[in-house]
Structure 1
Amino acid sequence: MLRRLFRALPDAPRARLLQARMHARDLLRTDLRFARPDGPHGLPPCHDWTQVIHETPTAEAKRHNLRLAADTLQRTRIAPGEVFSFARVVGPPIVSRGFRAGRTLVGGEVAASIGGGLCQLSGLLYVAALECSLEILERHPHSLDIYTDTTRFAPLGADATVVYGHRDLRFRNTLDQPIGFACEVDTGQVTLALCASRPVVRRSVAFVAESHASHTLVTTVVDGEVILQQSYQRAAGA
């Protein structure tokens, strides 16, 4: 009953309740200092990652949503020891903030929801954090692999699903200098750059997939060391 009432709320008050829930979760976490959008970070690009944006019926909505998120991303400087939270930086993806309906996974099924497509940016940030030795504090993989070899835009295992108020991507700046990010969204691709005043060592990251009858096992390897194994169920027809 309460869940149905919550879902029936307009998006703005629903987002405020989710924000309160998120802040309450962190209330006693004295070890977390969150970075906040506060004007252009002014740092030069150091490393970059590019992924294709496939042309689909929801591609334009995805590009629009990514550009909105990129704007707040580029206004966030992350000091040493501070934590980047996708939810706190990007904020709630709701209609009143300009976000549009795009493709997303809801309850293990492909559906349209406001803010759809943002997971491509959170996935790029996850890979950047892995390669640049940032400390991953929270990251959630998708439960289902809905892509084929021709529709996949990132290696399986390189994803980071974000659901405002429920699932976040968080990492800590463990470097000895401030960092920031810049993001450019073109018609056919999205590019993320890590920005820093001094060089940042880039590690080798590989996602090794092993196919089984009903699922795929992905091993994440960083500089030759296995750090994670995860299983993805394959969607019908994928």
Structure 2
Amino acid sequence: MEGSVEAVLEAEQAPRRKLSREARRGQLIEATIAVIAEKGYARMTLGEVAKRAGLSHGLANFHFESKEKLLAATLDHLSEEYRANWQGALARAGGHPADRLAALLEADFDPVICESDKLAAWVSFWGEAQSRPMYQDHCGSNDEEYQGIMTRTCADLIQLGGYGGQAERIARVLRVTVEGVWLDLMTMREPYALEEAKATVWACVAAFFPRHFGPEGRLRGA
């Protein structure tokens, strides 16, 4: 009987330990994003991250063992958060390809995603030559999935709206426009407002699909 009680207590405590471990890892990942934003990819250290998270250096080592493993986990976190965000937006969109395209692009400016520290972290991962193999390993398949859906959505809108152009090329232009706007928001001395950032993207979309998009985004009734 005593063993059974101990087993029940052990079972009750296990989720708490698991949650605590996940919470600590989350703290360290969030701190990593903040440190990268402030100091850059190359100057980020486990010690600095632990200090920012309010945890000991030993605890940071326990959870991630090395700077490289922490960076990989941080990249996974950013990539999966980004993927979940655009997939959720797409699931809520209507069936019309213009609605789906608008949802994909709006998702890139969701405050959860388009946040200064996270943008800085993305730019750091893109810009550091040493991080490129890691980026491809951890984000390549997600990027390919996103680009494939964007391409198919553009192809559907081209067919439905009687537009010209190559869907794959248009999808690529839209993606690099968003990424360029993100970079602008991070590097310009006086960055423009988020609404202007979105308007820049809408201007690009409207150039390809003028009957469905305008300066403020999706044209209703089209």
The TM-score with structure 2 as length reference comes to: 0.29
**Could you say which structure has the larger radius of gyration?**
2
Return the structure number with greater relative CO, CA threshold 8 A, min gap 6. Answer: 1
Structure with bigger strand share is: 1
Please give the TM-score of this superposition, normalised by the length of structure 1: 0.28
